[in-house]
Chain A
Amino acid sequence: MGSQGGFYQSKEFLDLVKSIGEARSKAEEDRIVLSEIETLKRRISEPDIPKRKMKEYILRLVYIEMLGHDASFGYIHAVKMTHDDSLLVKRTGYLAVTLFLNEDHDLIILIVNTIQKDLKSDNYLVVCAALNAVCKLINEETIPAVLPQVVELLGHPKEAVRKKAIMALHRFYQKSPSSVSHLISNFRKRLCDNDPGVMGATLCPLFDLIAQDVNSYKDLVISFVSILKQVAERRLSKAYDYHQMPAPFIQIKLLKILALLGSGDKQASETMYTVVGDIFKKCDSSSNIGNAVLYECICCVSSIYPNTKLLDSAADAISRFLKSDSHNLKYMGIDALGRLIKISPEIAEQHQLAVIDCLEDPDDTLKRKTFELLYKMTKSTNVEVIVDRMIGYMISINDNHYKTEIASRCVELAEQFAPSNQWFIQTMNKVFEHAGDLVNIKIAHNLMRLIAEGFGEDDDNADSKLRSSAVESYLHILGEPKLPSVFLQVICWVLGEYGTADGMFSASDVTGKLCDVAEAYSSNETVKAYAVTALMKIYAFEIAAGRKVDMLPECQSLMEELLASHSTDLQQRAYELQAVIGLDVHAVECIMPLDASCEDIEVDKGLSFLDGYIQEAIEKGAQPYIPESERSGLINMGNFRNQNHHESLHGLRFEAYELPKPAESAEPEPMYPRETYQTPVSPIPSNPSDAGSAELKLRLDGVQQKWGRPTYTPETSTSNSTSQKSVNGASAVNSTREAYASRKPQVEISHEKQKLAASLFGGTSKPEKRPATGHKVSKASSHMVEKSHVPNSSMEVAPEKAAPAQPPPDLLDLGEPTATSTAPSLDPFKQLEGLLDTTQDALAANSATTASRSPDVMALLYADTPIGIHNKDDADLLSGLSNPSVTNMAGATARPRLSQSSSKGSNPKDSLEKDALVRQMGVNPSSQNPNMFKDLLG
């Protein structure tokens, strides 16, 4: 063996590591590294450095860069090293460049030549080193430079080279599929390689290829099945055994491939049943790797054409996972459950308590996985509980990435399964309130469209109730201090459209609130623009209804401020508002018809209504309009202006331009400017010049896009009585808050848990209230698909999702008995856990002092706990582990030690010596880190 822990670096490097190890703060470490960088910069550019020295410098650079500092000054030296003739030096060079450079670095072009040469080398170690570099450094442009040689290496006598060549081709395929598309037969050929390592490596590219195009590889099903069979029957060399499992990594890869090939293909799946069933039986569920293979089997079974026997085995394996004490296995169990419920939804019922436990678990990872599962099993009967939980969790976390994800999931579920309008509005309010800045703006637009269009059914009464409840809740929410911009936009728009529609709130109430918004978020122009337009709408509706308009004083001052705003957009809106207020009832009705946001507007793109005017102008001697395509490139701005000048009477344009682009894209209410162009009585005289038409076109495109987008479709709940609804709406916020507050204590009690389980898994609390809702959702959504122009993704999946949402009736009366029977059975485990905990603590203390040892106790203890043995630091564990009766993993861990005990390190004495050596070197203060010198596997 090469190194045997010999630290044959130079004294300088050792000192560096030592001083960094002793650094008390990040600042101190940085200082040390910076001075090291200075030294290296100086040294490395000296002439005639011996190769050995240079090699060391480069490794020191690698070390510095690993610590997060910039070593780019030395990259070129690393590149030069790859040119060296000596393999030793070259290898270091290649190692350094693969660590330093990304595939798009400029220096790579200097290495390609060397790589080409090295790929042709007689020494297979040189070829291997070059292939390692190929995998990391070659990019799309340089693939052709090395491709022929790499392909040639597929036939190299050394299996290590063939293997790396396959991996390199795989990388090429990932970077640029077209570059290797003609070489795919090579992958098939390598599948039959004599060396299992090469065969195993070939599975990686094949997996990718099959994932891309399943049908071209159906002929390989038989081969894969027979390989898997051979692997499972231990036909591969013993060297591929891992913890007594025959080549588990290859098995996993093969199972993944079979899952792809068997998906939706009954015939192919049938050939797999036997071998997958065998693996289920053979897997040793006490070792981690055995469980990894089991998990992969479950994935495979849930992907291929269903087979009852296999599904049963999978269900058994899942319940073993979920009942396990290990969080890892629980996590895998939850994941596997999520896969299997697609095929057999009833399986979730048996595990409801385990799922609830995972949901309550302090482990965030497990919790999120469980939310994922819940998301998959949401239906109209349990949507309220699930979304409520999700939102509660969403509020509690800080991780924006996940917050965004869970927020969009809440919205998706709410849109699909909303049991009532009020609930939907409340849910959306909560999502927007807490994650408004994170959600996609489209979600806001969808919400506005929903409120505007209603639920797509002809129940105007329900629609208007939805609107009033939205208005009411928004007016209430505006009292909150800080709201996200997106949410404020929605609120302003809805208040503008429907604030006064049902007569519950007076115009002055609503306008007062809107002014408050504009004032409180004065730095946010988009919100202000929304608020002003909303004000305009409310005043217009007031005028149209024949009421007298009194502008509130704060509103007037707001207008004054905006009329002088730096933002042309805000200014224009303010002027328009002023103009609208001055108009008579008839004109206002034309400009701002009540509740017309959903009306289709026919746009005359040819502007034919101007024909007469143009004719007149031409007769008077104006130049005819030349389409842009004809004058492009020929006429510069000057000409254009001239033309404009000729045509119009004045040289300068005084009207404001149309809204700036960014503001527009964020806007849902493009109705007023568009309509001003439409109606003859327009508050702003539009300039009927060619420039105006260009402007108009631009504007319309935006409009088109916005209104062409599809709506989403929650089902309409059949109308309840009016009074009940408004009561619900008013009290809903409070009641949900109470629910939040009381949740924590609730879950401690097993009875409450059962209740939660019941409500999640189809519960008794909700007896088949809406048996047909699933059907209804799909019907409604398909109806909407027809109606909308471009179906969006959530719509497309809607019918699919709705399918499993029809619960078989017998699911509902589930498991009080199961519940009670599982609960107590968990307890002894918990007690044991507690017991183990304390002993482990004590043990850790022991090992820290390294003085007192108690082999017998530990041997006893760990014989009971199969997993997690290698975490323990104590060398004496080995005596317990090498006992043949203990688990696989333990046995395998112990094996290398036994075989090497003569050479080094497996007994405590050697470890201590190593310790002592290290201490002499003073690399690490042992008080800070007593475990540092313990063997990693010990």
Chain B
Amino acid sequence: MIHFVLLISRQGKVRLTKWYSPYSQKERTKVIRELSGVILTRGPKLCNFVDWRGFKVVYKRYASLYFCMCIDQDDNELEVLEIIHHFVEILDRYFGSVCELDLIFNFHKAYYILDELLLAGELQESSKKTIARLIAAQDSLVETAKEQASSISNIIAQATK
């Protein structure tokens, strides 16, 4: 099971966090501080896994952004590495050559995408096409809503159709 997903920039700035196991706000801060200390200082040729408090953290760097997922001891690290890559590919397809700024300014969209990919700490969907279709369906609501932003009743009509 995936316990949490973290996106950290090379400077240690948090870009996205998603917790599938319960962590208090205090613990979250501590986790992020500890892990960014460990991961950001690792050399480039070392393996993409880190032991951490009895769990394993799989991370991968894309440009200046580190994608990290914390998993159980007996999970398959290579698979999780590919889940990360899968996520990045979906982001890339969605934003069109995704870069860190897309994620900074549209972090809520990244969350929506992540919610279609992972649910309750498990991989929910492995087809890029299906995820893209779902996100597009949700976005089409946004688009129409924007066009008809003047009339709130229209939005409601659209949403509950």
**Residues of chain A having any CB pair with chain B under 8 Å:** 1-5, 7, 9, 14, 17, 20-21, 51-52, 59, 62-63, 65-68, 70, 85-88, 90-92, 95, 98-99, 102-104, 121-123, 125-126, 128, 132, 135-136, 159-160, 163-164, 167-168, 170-171, 174, 196-197, 200-201, 204, 237, 239-240, 242-243, 247-250, 252, 288-289, 291-292, 295-296, 299, 326-328, 330-332, 362-366, 368, 399, 401-402, 405, 833, 870-871, 873, 892-893, 896-897, 900, 903-906, 910-911, 914, 918, 923-924, 928-929, 931-938
Contact = CB atoms under 8 A, between A and B. Distances in A.
Contact of A242 (B14, B82, B112): B82
Contact of A123 (B45, B98, B139, B159): B159
A62 B81 contact: no
B141 A87 contact: yes
Contacts, number: 285
B159 A85 contact: yes
Contacts of B156: 85-86
A239 B159 contact: no
Pick from A17, A104, A911, A924 the residue with the most CB of B within 10 Å: A924
A200 B119 CA distance: 13
Contacts of B143: 2
A331 B47 contact: yes
A733 to B, nearest CB: 31
7 contacts: A87-B160, A135-B119, A900-B97, A905-B95, A932-B99, A936-B92, A936-B100
A164 B95 CA distance: 25
B69 to A, nearest CB: 14
B111 A99 contact: yes
A332 B78 contact: yes
Given A66-B16, A327-B47, A331-B47, A125 B141 contact: yes
A799 B18 CA distance: 44
Contacts of B20: 136
A911 B51 CA distance: 36
A401 B63 contact: no
B51 A368 contact: yes
A399 B38 CA distance: 11
Interface of B: 9-11, 13-14, 16-18, 20, 22-25, 28-29, 32, 43-51, 53-54, 61-65, 76-79, 81-83, 85-86, 88-89, 91-102, 104-109, 111-112, 115, 119-120, 122-130, 134-139, 141-143, 145, 149, 152, 155-156, 159-161
B14 A67 contact: yes
Given A91-B138, A936-B98, 10 more contacts: A4-B95, A62-B108, A99-B111, A201-B124, A243-B82, A328-B48, A363-B43, A905-B96, A911-B97, A918-B101
B4 to A, nearest CB: 12
Contacts of B25: 65, 68, 70
A608 to B, nearest CB: 52
A121 B159 CA distance: 11
A244 to B, nearest CB: 13
A929 B64 contact: yes
Contacts of B86: 242
A870 B100 CA distance: 15
Nearest to B12: A26
Contacts of A896: 89, 92-93
A906 B96 CA distance: 7
Closest 9 CB pairs between A and B? A2-B139, A905-B97, A292-B78, A87-B159, A327-B47, A936-B62, A904-B96, A239-B129, A931-B64
B144 to A, nearest CB: 10
A197 B49 contact: no
Contacts of A90: 159
A295 B101 contact: no
Contact of A51 (B63, B120, B152, B160): B152
Contact of A2 (B10, B11, B49, B142): B142
Contacts of B51: 364-365, 368, 399, 402
Contacts of A170: 120, 122
B9 to A, nearest CB: 8
A293 to B, nearest CB: 8
Pick from B47, B48, B134, B161 the residue with the most CB of A within 10 Å: B47
Given A401-B54, A870-B85, A904-B96, A935 B63 contact: yes
